[in-house]
Amino acid sequence: MKNKKIKAIIFDWAGTLYEKNKGLFPYSENVLQELKPKYKLAVISKAVSNSVEERLNQINGIKHYFNFIIAEIDKTPEHYTKCMRKLKVKPEETLVVDDRTLRGIQIGNKLGCKTAWIEKGEYSNELPTEETGNPYYTIKSIEDLLTIL
């Protein structure tokens, strides 16, 4: 189910590109390297107030892959709208990748973006509901993006 209309990918950070308390997933940088020439890439990360700076430091080593980065205390639809505006893409041209249905997937669906839920890790039991909507794709890791895009 290849999607040629996608022009931008907005990633979550923890659980998507970064494993909590361990560091980047081993495949994250390779996947970003593959995607960067073809797509505009961004990160929207939720960080508790005392860790926004720490979160930005975690991202620092791979920030050159991203066109736009937001690290805030909460994720809101406005963050995604701002990100798409900065990337100059429409919702239907955007893929939101997140390991939580209650945040990124729900927001992406409501804004009209394509969504990819990473059904793995701490929130894999957080199944889609009527409120969150179903993700367009369900994947096991961001490596799977290379086969669906």
The 3-class SS string of 4-44 reads: CCCCEEEECCECCCEECCCEECCCHHHHHHHHCCCCEEEEE
65-92 per-position pLDDT tens digit: 999 988 887 889 999 999 999 999 999 9
We find that the CATH architecture of domain 8-148 is 3-Layer(aba) Sandwich (3.40)
Predicted TM-score (pTM) of this structure: 0.91
Lowest-confidence pick of 37-51, 65-79, 98-112, 128-142: 37-51
Q: Residue 51: what pLDDT?
A: 60
Q: Which residues pair with 69 in a beta bridge?
A: 43
Q: Residue 73: what pLDDT?
A: 77
3-state secondary structure (DSSP) of residue 6: coil
Lowest-confidence pick of 35-49, 102-116, 128-142: 35-49
What count of other Cβ atoms lies within 10 Å of the Cβ of residue 90? 14
pLDDT at 97 over 90: yes
Predicted confidence band of residue 2 (pLDDT cuts 50, 70, 90):
low
3-state secondary structure (DSSP) of residue 134: coil
Q: Residue 63: what pLDDT?
A: 87
Element (H, E) at 31: helix 28-35
Cα–Cα distance measured from residue 75 to residue 87, given in angstroms and rounded to the nearest whole number:
18
4-63 per-position pLDDT tens digit: 699 999 999 888 998 888 888 999 999 999 999 999 999 998 876 556 566 667 777 888
The structure tokens listed for 103 are 């945040």
pLDDT at 101 over 80: yes
